[in-house]
Amino acid sequence: MNKFSILTLSLFLTSCAHSDWRTADRGSANIAPLPSETKEAIVHVYVARTFNWHKYLAVHSWVAFKEKGAKEYVVYHVIGWRARDGGEAVLGKKDIPDRKWYGSTPDLITDIRGEKAEAAIPQIKAAIQSYKYPNFYRMYPGPNSNSFVSHIIRNVDELQVELPPNAMGKDWLDDGSLFAMSESGTGVQVSVFGLLGATLGLAEGIELNILGLSFGVDILRPAIKLPAVGRLGFKDAQCLQTEI
């Protein structure tokens, strides 16, 4: 093993050794507007690097919304340890929408406001209720937190968005289905239990899923999609959904 490999491994192990979820930063990333600043309805979708060594491979995603005139946001996501302890994997509660994910600053990938958000919120609630795995979690290949958010996206007309390629589990389809519309609703997808498949869509471009890892090319907004790394190239124009 050469010196570079030893140094890389040492840094990796050191970062893992100093990670403690109990002391990790869970404060606001100051992305979402405060409810006191706006009365309009808001829907956000966030992704953030996962905790500990998993952060080098994947992101965790969640949905947050504030109804018109509400004084707080409601946040929904799937938490694996809750299911492993015999509880519900799906957690929904009033919370800070842009809370850091145990030290990782989230990225806002969808920002919908106004009448469009008002129309989306009832659909989001219905999609949460129709999720097939509220008490089950499997990190790989799914269903996991990204499978849950992908399910919501696929069932809410206003969420014409796609999760990033490093959102492992996003290609898990409900009930073991082989075919579905793509997340954005602009294409089609075939997936075999989230392990093998392909997606072709106007928003997604071309994606291949090999053993749960996503590789692809976005033609509309030129970029290469890689597992673990994410997106390299032009930024995805998903936040253009904002409606004031």
Rounded to an integer, what distance in angstroms lies between the CA atom of residue 202 and that of residue 123? 23
Q: Is the pLDDT of residue 204 over 80?
A: yes
Edge to edge, what strands does the sheet with 42-49 contain?
90-94, 74-78, 59-66, 42-49, 107-113
For residue 241, name the pLDDT band (cuts at 50, 70, 90). Answer: very low
Beta bridge partners of 187: 201
Beta bridge partners of 217: 206, 224
Q: Is the pLDDT of residue 236 over 90?
A: no
For residue 237, name the pLDDT band (cuts at 50, 70, 90). Answer: low
Task: Sketch the domain layout of the chain as residue ranges.
Answer: 24-239
Which one-letter amino acid corresponds to residue 216?
G
For residue 118, name the pLDDT band (cuts at 50, 70, 90). Answer: very high
Each residue's pLDDT tens digit, 23-64: 887 899 999 999 999 999 999 999 999 987 777 899 999 999
Which one-letter amino acid corresponds to residue 181?
M
Task: Check residue 73 and give its pLDDT.
Answer: 99
Task: Check residue 130 and give its pLDDT.
Answer: 98
pLDDT above 90 covers a percentage of the chain that reads: 78
Query: Residue 84: CB partners within 8 Å, gap ≥ 6?
Result: 137
Mean pLDDT of 161-168: 96
Each residue's pLDDT tens digit, 213-232: 999 999 999 999 999 999 99
The backbone torsions φ and ψ at residue 147, rounded to the nearest 5 degrees and listed phi first, read -65, -40
Task: Check residue 84 and give its pLDDT.
Answer: 85
Q: Which regions of the chain does DSSP assign to beta strands (E)?
A: 42-49, 59-66, 74-78, 90-94, 107-113, 179-181, 187-192, 196-201, 205-210, 213-218, 223-226, 230-233
CB 240 within 8 Å of CB 111 = no
Q: Apex CA 30: angle with CA 24 and CA 34, to 5°? A: 125
Task: Check residue 175 and give its pLDDT.
Answer: 83
In the DSSP assignment, the letter for residue 101 is B
Rounded to an integer, what distance in angstroms lies between the CA atom of residue 195 and that of residue 223? 23
Q: Using CA atoms of 4, 51, 110, 90 in order, give the dihedral in degrees to the nearest 10.
A: 150
Entry pTM: 0.88
